[in-house]
Chains A and B, each alone.
Chain A
Amino acid sequence: MNCREMEERAEAYAFEMLEPEERAACAAHLAEPGAHACQAAVDEARAVLELLLQTAEPARPSDGLWRRVEADVRRRGTEGARAETEGALKTPVAPPATRRSWVARAAPWAGWLVAAVFAAWALLNLLRAPPASGEHGHHEDPGDHAAMLVAPKDAAAKAAANVLSALGALVAEPGARTIALAPSGAPAGPSGAVVLDASAHRGVLIARGLPPIRTGAYNAYLAPASGPAVPVGRLWQLDDEHLGVVLDASALAAGPPARVSVRLYAPSGEGPALLEGAATPGDSLPVKKE
């Protein structure tokens, strides 16, 4: 093959449209020593191809794809010696400031509710401080989504503050009620509750004692009286013992959930229910604030 023949095949070569033997002949020609006038034709055709690729309509990847990528990115860090210099791998949820309350020992249910509200106050104070560095500054739109995926420290702290703030407001409302959550299939272990306002348009799920995780996140699931459970949000670390999530109005639009559960969602997939509870008519809030 000479340069003139190659030039005639430049587009088909750049677009990888040739049969294997033709392609090999072109590659062999381009690999021959010396400058090739035909190389420019190949480069131009490749540049056109790059631009053509930009015309593809973008598509929304599934959540599962990110989980797979995220898991592999983490695996790279774990497997490589680079981990030594990069420091400890980030956990998906960075625990905010820890504040253990003495009331937690006194009365299990009342204790953690009060402790949670107290921790909200502590967290809100903490968040008033300026950030330590410019790391978490402004993000353009795609970056904001990226921040949601990896939950950097400040996002986790703000989410935790939201949960505790919502919980504090709910506890103060008359008519609020709870759905107790118990360990699934085990007599002891984690515990939790969902606090709903009287109209069941707002709610907060709090869990305690869930085992620590390095990958994935704990998700809350709600199920109507008939129908499958659907994930309604990830739980955020509130302190070293509690996790919680605000159940927004859309999650509760169909009415109070008949069943609530908490599962681990890890890169390997969805785990079994660790906490479960069912609404009963007699549920009521065990403590009233003020």
Chain B
Amino acid sequence: MLRRAAHADERAAATIYVRHAPRMLGVARRVLGNVADAEDVVHDAFMAALAKADETPEERWRLDAFLLVLTRMKALDRYRNRVTRREAPLEEGVADTRPVLENAQARVLRGELQEKLASLPPEQAKVVDLAWRGHTEVEIAAETGEARGTVASRLRLGVARLKRLFGVVAEDAGARSAAGGDGS
């Protein structure tokens, strides 16, 4: 589908856009805090994905992950190029608050993931949340008033717990992480 879109198939492009753009925009908005910048990022990510179409996974869920990661990368580039960081409320610039058409399966998955994320101890959840939004360890330490080592430790513990909750095991990890031997 992405390859067809990359070859100027507008229908394929529109299908990908409708399926993925709202979630890409959701990620970019979480990182950047405003819609105008987030839309620029989604545009850039979409075009970058088309440019890399030949090396992109075709499976739908892999494409979804690829586009979201690419969007986050582009959002971080923009975020870190700002002279000063701006912590804007997420609602800034939102003109259209109608619910987004979302695939039922994706909605269920999102709900489950949010539930698992919410089960983390609050201090770990906070670090994980700031981390995926692109804050560095140094920034999180400054923001939370904790030592950088504490931030790093909370991130490790939080991610280790999420690995177990999400059932994440790297293909070649073997028994190393299957038993959750990460010291958490």
Contacts and interface: CB of A to CB of B under 8 A. Distances in A.
Interface of A: 8-9, 11-12, 15-19, 37, 39-41, 43-62, 64-66, 68-70, 72-74, 76-78, 80, 82-83, 86, 89-90, 140-143, 145-147, 149-150, 152
Given A69-B46, A72-B47, A146 B8 contact: no
Contact of A48 (B110, B168, B174): B168
A70 B134 contact: no
Given A44-B173, A61-B21, A65-B43, A52 B128 contact: yes
A106 B121 CA distance: 80
A275 B122 CA distance: 60
Nearest to B98: A60
B22 A58 contact: yes
Across chains A and B, which 6 residue pairs bring their CB atoms closest together, nearest first? A77-B8, A58-B22, A146-B14, A56-B26, A40-B173, A40-B170
Contacts of A9: 152
Contacts of B19: 142, 146
A52 B129 CA distance: 9
A51 B113 contact: yes
A55 B131 CA distance: 14
Contacts of A69: 13, 17, 21, 43, 46-47
B44 to A, nearest CB: 10
Contacts of B78: none
B17 A149 contact: yes
Given A53-B69, A73-B10, A73-B13, A44 B170 contact: yes
Contact of A70 (B10, B68, B98, B162): B10
Nearest to A69: B46
B101 A141 contact: yes
Given A15-B155, A17-B155, A59-B22, A52 B50 contact: no
